[in-house]
Amino acid sequence: MAMELRADQLAAQLQQRFPPVLLISGDDPFLVGEACDTVRATLRDRHGFSEREQLQVERGFDWSRLQEATGTLSLFAERRLIELRLPSGKPGDEGSKALQSYCAHPADETVLLIISAKLDKRARQTKWVKAVEQVGAVLPIWPIEANQLPPWIVQRARTRGIEVDRDGAALLAERAEGNLLAAAQEIEKLLLLHGPATLSAETLLASVSDSARFDPFRLLDLALQGEAGHALRALHGLREEGTAVPLINAVLSNELRTLAGMATEVAGGAQPMALMGRYRVFRQRQAAVVSALKRHGARRWLAFLQRTALIDRASKGRERADPWRELERLVSAIAGRPLPAATL
């Protein structure tokens, strides 16, 4: 499979056969992350790759670790995916030699996935990249330009069962401000709100600017009930009404602290209903709380609580994140329908 792939060919090509070495390079974290997810899922589901190991190339990285990782036999003789993350795109002389050596004799039942920063024309001519091209495949990830974003939104929405017209795609592109992750999250929110459907620009505008009145406690209850779409509508309504992020976040963090404590006791053998009185859960909320405790374990509730700390820092400008988008992700996750995030 010595070739250069395109992103839209990746899944189909990997369904047929897998290369011993695959290089994915690009600067857009969302697109690179999705390509890597496609590789992982296809190798796992189609070809039975059940082991995965990650190596991060940083200053002073010991390249003998690559040989150790690829040379060690699996305890169960299973197929393995070795991920080598190369943020700089430059392995240096030692790394270049190590990669060339590996490509000359790749390990059996193993795929080496190299995840690299964007490689310029000069970097594409280096010996290690040429070695990868000879034995495996190279997938350069090109950025989506501003004028390409609306068609990209149309196509992505269609894969999720949503049809949007040109005006609707332009509206979503404007809201995303060129951010692909933001655009993908908007599509996921529309799916939660409407399900698979054909949506006009007017419907989209109404969905993203819903001014229905909600309060933060009602928002949390909807999330606890697993009503992701309604919870997001509630959050949108709070935003349109001018409710401050710190207020919403304070309600969520206080309730999540309680749920984390309850979940810890449930993990220790306590029955959820036996905890309601001590944790002062009103009768009308008890069914939602029990449902939520069954949905997530103690570790996840603690992770949700930690997320509110990030939202607090973001709302005060001490974290490079959009607090509203982080709230959307948190609410959806509590409801059991997490929105996509960048993975690299």
User: Tens digits of per-residue pLDDT, 143-161?
Assistant: 888 889 999 999 999 988 9
Q: Which residues contact 97 (CB under 8 A, 6 or more apart)?
A: none
Please report the pLDDT score of residue 69 as a whole number.
Answer: 84
Distances (CA, A) of 166 to 143, 151, 281, 322: 21, 8, 48, 27
Would you tell me how many other CB atoms lie within 10 Å of the CB of residue 72? 11
Average pLDDT estimate for 220-247: 89
209 pLDDT exceeds 60? no
Average pLDDT estimate for 242-261: 88
Please report the pLDDT score of residue 279 as a whole number.
Answer: 78
291 compared with 243, residue with greater pLDDT:
291
72 compared with 152, residue with greater pLDDT:
152
283 pLDDT exceeds 90? no
Per cent of the chain over pLDDT 90 is 40
Residue 302's DSSP bridge partners are: none
Question: Please, how many CA atoms are within 13 Å of residue 247, restricted to the half-sphere of its CB?
Answer: 11
d(CA 56, CA 64): 13
Give span(s): CATH 3.40.50.300, the chain. 3-140
pTM for this model (two decimals): 0.61
210 pLDDT exceeds 50? no
Please report the pLDDT score of residue 203 as a whole number.
Answer: 82
Please report the pLDDT score of residue 5 as a whole number.
Answer: 67
Please report the pLDDT score of residue 214 as a whole number.
Answer: 52
Please report the pLDDT score of residue 255 as a whole number.
Answer: 87
Please report the pLDDT score of residue 4 as a whole number.
Answer: 64
Q: Say which DSSP state 338 is in.
A: P
Average pLDDT, the chain: 86
Q: CATH assignment of 3-140, given 1.10.10.10, 3.40.50.10860, 1.10.238.10, 3.40.50.300?
A: 3.40.50.300
144-209 maps to which CATH number? Answer: 1.10.8.60
Average pLDDT estimate for 46-71: 87
Which CATH fold topology does 213-335 show?
Zinc Finger, Delta Prime; domain 3 (1.20.272)
Rg (CA), the chain: 23
Residue in this structure with the two tokens 């948190």, named with its chain if needed? 330
Please report the pLDDT score of residue 24 as a whole number.
Answer: 95
Please report the pLDDT score of residue 154 as a whole number.
Answer: 94
* Each residue's pLDDT tens digit, 6-40: 777 788 888 888 899 999 999 888 888 889 988 99
Average pLDDT estimate for 250-256: 87
Q: Which helix (H) or strand (E) holds 55?
A: strand 49-56
Q: CA dihedral defined by 305, 311, 317, 319, rounded to 10 degrees? A: 70
Please report the pLDDT score of residue 212 as a whole number.
Answer: 39
295: its two tokens: 């949905």
Give span(s): CATH 1.10.8.60, the chain. 144-209
* Each residue's pLDDT tens digit, 164-194: 988 889 888 877 767 787 788 778 778 877 8
Please report the pLDDT score of residue 20 as a whole number.
Answer: 93
Residues 187 and 153 sit within 8 Å (Cβ to Cβ): yes
Per cent of the chain over pLDDT 70 is 92
The DSSP-derived string for 244-293 is: -HHHHHHHHHHHHHHHHHHHHHHHTT--HHHHTTTTT--HHHHHHHHHHH
The runs of H, that is alpha helices, within the chain are: 10-16, 29-47, 64-71, 92-104, 121-124, 127-135, 149-159, 166-176, 180-194, 201-208, 216-224, 228-240, 245-267, 272-275, 283-295, 298-315, 323-334
Please report the pLDDT score of residue 92 as a whole number.
Answer: 93
The confidence band for 340, taking pLDDT boundaries of 50, 70 and 90, is low
* Each residue's pLDDT tens digit, 77-133: 578 999 999 988 999 999 999 999 999 999 888 999 999 989 988 998 999 999 999
344 pLDDT exceeds 50? no
Residue in this structure with the two tokens 């169960």, named with its chain if needed? 76
